[in-house]
Amino acid sequence: MSTLLEMIADGRQIGPHAPWPRAVMPPDAWAFAAVQLASGAWTLVSLWAEPGEVHLALFDPAASAIGVMSLRTDSGRFPSIGASHLPARRFERTVRDMHGLEPEGSPDNRPWLDHGTWSVSAPLGAPSREVVSPVVTEPYRFLPVEGEGVHQIPVGPVHAGIIEPGHFRFSANGETVVRLEERLGYVHKGIESLLVNTPLDRAAKLAARVSGDSTVAYSTAFAQAVEAACDVEIPSRAAWLRALMLELERIANHLGDIGAVCNDAAFALMHAHCAVIRERVLRAANAAFGHRLMMDRVMPGGVGADIDRAGRKQIKQLIATIRRRFPGLVALYNDTTSLQDRTVHTGYVDLELVTQYGAGGFVGRASGRAFDARKVFPRAPYSSLDFEVPTSDRGDVDTRVHIRMSEIEQSVSLIDRLLDGLPEGETRTDMHLRDAEGMALVEGFRGDIFVWVRTKADGTIARAHLRDPSWLQWPLLEAAIENNIVADFPLCNKSFNCSYAGHDL
């Protein structure tokens, strides 16, 4: 059995393509990939398309290698991976919606992102395919659930609170959930269409706005992909500043979500205290980098904001504050038995599922999949810094909260060392685009963000594909809620906190 990279080496190489290879493969190699995915030997990273080709990004855990297989689709069809490997289904439905390419043999050909309200069909497909489509009025077919006493509860996309839109179809027997089916795509903004043939600076701004809470991670992933394509080495100070911002963003989001999980169990005290510390993080970020969420601070070629002495001091003070106050909050969480009663054993996901889906971030790590892009594909400065990736195999809401608490501690320690070891020098280097392709995998707070770009020598981005970690986490939420009670769904959902914006793109 050949490894992924050997397999791709046999295909028609596309170059330059960095840091991982891409090759156009014959159909039998595509079929072999489907077998490898279904057997669990390889992990699906992403599946996307462009006119005439579909791309399949794969991760080979045994060799810690990533590679992209491409398949010509001159007939407008391609053999379905999802037919044998469930995690690929939503990707294939999206490819069908966005590009008009038909996954052959897939049992699920319902639309996914296309809700029948666009003025075009297959907006990313070949121009000749673009036709004005009538508004589809036939109702979406939810998967059937049969049995005595089973009833449906439709929730969303308009909710009682101000949250992102998503539709959840519960089939419940009394209070017990028999099946949950998600329907997403309500916040589709057409970012991949907007990125086609876009000047680099505008493309970077668009990438930063895929999911606002992960703006640093998206900017970094996009920048790294462009730099990889154009073989640009950024100054080491820029790399360290990026890591600093990434860790600040991670802490801010983890704090917000830990409080929000507790708030969903009506324990508002934890929420209030977490919100106070989160606000400190945002203010320190504002003082140091001039923007609370650090949006547009990372750009291809480096970073757009340097940190001065005052900003440095602010962040040092922030670290001291978190170290002083956070242990008390962890203790409050652990000592509130009424809260533990809600979170322990709720929303369980097992290792088999997270491995099959290749779920990253705290969702994967809380169920025993110790994947962290910072460790698996180490880059400066993470390669030179020692840190732990907290992992557990208990897989419930409580564990996901605990993993995030441990990650905050790790990130605080990382920030401390990043500030101390921050190299002097330039923070930006000139970018000269060339005709090439690049990829990047960056660990945001939710998990690994995957970005693929094709750059052009005229300074524009020809095509880009951005895959949010939520793509591989949303389906697990459906599994986590099974056999739990309906009233525990908000708790499970918040413990995942998948991105709607990043998924719907």
Chain positions contacting another protein, by CB under 8 A: 151-155, 159-162, 175, 262, 264-269, 271-273, 276, 336, 338-339, 341-342, 485-490
- Return d(Cα 302, Cα 308) in angstroms, integer: 17
264-279 burial, b at 16+ Cβ within 10 Å, e below that, comes to: bbebeebbebbbebbe
For 59, phi then psi, to 5°, come to -120, 130
Contact 105, 58 (CB under 8 A): no
CA angle 499, 502, 505 (to 5 degrees): 140
Considering the complex, state which of residue 5 and residue 155 has its C-beta at the smaller distance from another protein.
Answer: 155
Rounded CA Rg of the chain: 22
Considering the complex, state which of residue 128 and residue 338 has its C-beta at the smaller distance from another protein.
Answer: 338
Looking only at the bridges linking them, the beta strands covering 302-303 and 460-467 are: unpaired
Contact 362, 407 (CB under 8 A): yes
Smallest gap from residue 152 Cβ to another protein (A): 7
Smallest gap from residue 175 Cβ to another protein (A): 6
Considering the complex, state which of residue 322 and residue 419 has its C-beta at the smaller distance from another protein.
Answer: 322
Considering the complex, state which of residue 109 and residue 176 has its C-beta at the smaller distance from another protein.
Answer: 176
Considering the complex, state which of residue 151 and residue 189 has its C-beta at the smaller distance from another protein.
Answer: 151
Considering the complex, state which of residue 173 and residue 197 has its C-beta at the smaller distance from another protein.
Answer: 173
Contacts of 206 (CB under 8 A, 6+ apart): 191, 194, 195, 198
Considering the complex, state which of residue 187 and residue 269 has its C-beta at the smaller distance from another protein.
Answer: 269
7-32 burial, b at 16+ Cβ within 10 Å, e below that, comes to: bbeebeebeebbbbbbbbbeeebbeb
* 118 burial type by CB count under 10 A (0-12 exposed, 13-18 middle, 19+ buried): middle
Considering the complex, state which of residue 152 and residue 197 has its C-beta at the smaller distance from another protein.
Answer: 152
Smallest gap from residue 136 Cβ to another protein (A): 25
Considering the complex, state which of residue 151 and residue 202 has its C-beta at the smaller distance from another protein.
Answer: 151
- Return d(Cα 265, Cα 274) in angstroms, integer: 15
Contacts of 299 (CB under 8 A, 6+ apart): 201, 204, 219, 223, 428
Smallest gap from residue 260 Cβ to another protein (A): 11
Smallest gap from residue 155 Cβ to another protein (A): 6
Considering the complex, state which of residue 85 and residue 342 has its C-beta at the smaller distance from another protein.
Answer: 342
Considering the complex, state which of residue 55 and residue 273 has its C-beta at the smaller distance from another protein.
Answer: 273
DSSP per residue over 98-122, as a string? HH--EEET-S----SS--S-SSBSS
For 376, phi then psi, to 5°, come to -75, -40
Contacts of 367 (CB under 8 A, 6+ apart): 349, 350, 351, 353, 354, 359, 392, 393, 395, 399
- Return d(Cα 25, Cα 383) in angstroms, integer: 33
From its phi and psi, is residue 258 left (phi > 0), alpha (psi between -120 and 50) or beta? alpha
Smallest gap from residue 272 Cβ to another protein (A): 4
